[in-house]
Structure 1
């Protein structure tokens, strides 16, 4: 498996030489400065690619795009989308012409990954990302004041949510909104509460089936172009894998993944297998899903979560938490071996250590939420150890 690392570009506090020190050779990045829906030009792509590969001693390459964003209008199925589909297809062709052929994206409406706390304290002083179901309900029902929201929560959660709001200062409420928006590192749309209400209103009348239809249309429009130019598109699961703010989430379960691969059968229509996003859902048996969808996995995010019965969860150590990481790694290595034996040229599956704890000298350094240097280095080292052991025992290629 190719060891990769998410890098947010030249403004990232984590530098390319440090990524090489961590042991990664593939870079996962995106052109966050380009607005959604605008073509990624060959010049812009080449500039980023050459920046990554500029020091031959480091031996780094741009391995995966994360993400080539899908415009909100496409998700909404709103208006004449021909130019947006054309632009997406052209960006795929331009990436392929520059040698970048694995493209991660998501189909989450309005907001990306969502947490209620970016620095939950750990023993010894480290911090972790956390999603608190009660605090989320407090925001949804009593700050956002979404119509009908209270009917979606049990009484116990609502009672605790009311107590949280009653004790929260305006600064606490503002901080919570900023935290909820933090999952969008390259987004141009960040909302205040009235703006979020207006954005949610645009989705009025779009339920699960309508949203699925819009997604299937997107796949039909772009997957043939991806296949033609040798690009592997790989959708990232919803994070968390549950409806949020009344918006349908349709990449959250095994049934959802099956719908996606069936909606447009193609080698170019693949999955980013994120053990943390899927692992946050009580309905998901992550190792079983890895086995079921192994032929469709083009990229992997390996991280772990610890869940609570009320729907809360926290980022755990990469080899801790509720997901059997060893079982998942074993499945990915076996799938690699199958691809190699079948004669596939790109048989290695790129993976990256996803969200890490903020530890040691990273505390207060100002890295992107969830993406500190040391916590991810620790996770990569742990996963590398699992890979080495599993490969040796099973006679599998790494």
Structure 2
């Protein structure tokens, strides 16, 4: 497996490429976050980013992500120009030798958390999704019609108590946390702006989102096949409907539908053990084994779940998911690919959403992407993988 590291680029990331090289990772996962959604990524901009990475002795393995415009997710209007721009960006990436594209189809927001600095028992902090705070946001701050039906009576009662006792600063912090899942340099929504965005999805149900997703696949996967690219969809985070928006990449059934919607090796999966692991019904080792031939990239992290639907980022080997079994499934798939003589036998992975440890907080890095916390996660998974390889070789 290829040890990789997410980097937001020279203008946005407070962690430098030389620092990343010291973690032992050899690969970089990045994107041109400064380019607006729907615009073409020029070959020149891609080449410049690649040259910076290679000058540090690293290799750009995965694009995360080549974002999909919201109009495509909504199936809104004439999309021919947006699809043409997307395919041109694909062609420019392929021309620069970058062949794996991670993306998501989550409407409006990417990952969603209610706490960016939830305290850990041993010190440091982590990202957390607190069900009653999310309910307080939806019901009392956003005023979303029907939001109460998405939460248990107990969670709704706690939400009401929290909201009535909260200060404006606490409510602002909650909004900031929820908006922090948006990547790159784009403005976050205020309450009115978020309402406006959600209104654009009024009347769009799960079936329509699926139809729009299939259209996206039909527009880009044939081009990916011609260009030698591999697409890998990222699961929903959290893996449940949120803000009244349908989520369609949350479990094994969803993944199977996506991979069959355009049945091609170029249409694959990013195995994110944290996103899928937040759903108690998901068996991660079984998912890894079932879809192994179509896994092109992996996010390895762990979560600890509560019965009310809350969860938080755990240490990579300390949560509810069996990360050793997941790593074993990925290594078995690499062995299978190698036996076929494939040049792409090795699967890039990266540690994800690390804890904020020691002096991480002083760096001001993106939420979930500290230096020391992720380096700990990388070291833990490195040890697991080395142990499994030794067992296999022995």
- Structure 1 residue 356 corresponds to structure 2 residue 357: no
Task: Please name the residue that 1:237 is paired with.
Answer: 235
Deviation, 1:155, is 1.1
Task: Please name the residue that 1:365 is paired with.
Answer: 363
Alpha-carbon distance in 2 for matches of 1:145, 1:187:
27
The gaps in structure 1 that reach 5 residues or longer are none
| 1:69-115 deviations in Å (ceiling 9; x for gaps) | 00000000000000000111111110000010011000000000000
Alpha-carbon distance in 2 for matches of 1:226, 1:188:
28
Task: Please name the residue that 1:22 is paired with.
Answer: 23
| 1:249-304 deviations in Å (ceiling 9; x for gaps) | 00001000000000001111010000000000112111111111101100000000
Secondary structure, aligned partner of 2:359? helix
Alpha-carbon distance in 1 for matches of 2:122, 2:289:
37
Q: Write the mapping of 1:120-199 to structure 2, written as runs, cut at 5 A.
A: 120-186=118-184, 188=186, 190-199=188-197
Alpha-carbon distance in 1 for matches of 2:37, 2:123:
38
Alpha-carbon distance in 2 for matches of 1:157, 1:186:
32
Task: Please name the residue that 1:93 is paired with.
Answer: 91
Deviation, 1:152, is 2.2
**Residue from 378, 381, 391 that aligns with 2:389:** 391
Alpha-carbon distance in 1 for matches of 2:166, 2:359:
31
Task: Please name the residue that 1:32 is paired with.
Answer: 33
CA RMSD of superposed structures (Å): 1.0
Q: How many positions carry a matched residue from both structures?
A: 393
Secondary structure, aligned partner of 2:28? strand
| 1:121-144 deviations in Å (ceiling 9; x for gaps) | 112320000000000000000000
Deviation, 1:330, is 0.3
Alpha-carbon distance in 1 for matches of 2:267, 2:274:
21
Q: Write the mapping of 1:169-318 to structure 2, written as runs, cut at 5 A.
A: 169-186=167-184, 188=186, 190-318=188-316
Alpha-carbon distance in 1 for matches of 2:122, 2:363:
17
| 1:186-207 deviations in Å (ceiling 9; x for gaps) | 2635211111111111111111
Which ranges of 4 or more aligned residues in structure 1 deviate by more than 3 Å?
Answer: none
The gaps in structure 2 that reach 5 residues or longer are none
Alpha-carbon distance in 1 for matches of 2:239, 2:343:
33
Deviation, 1:148, is 1.1
Q: Write the mapping of 1:322-337 to structure 2, written as runs, cut at 5 A.
A: 322-337=320-335
Deviation, 1:151, is 2.2
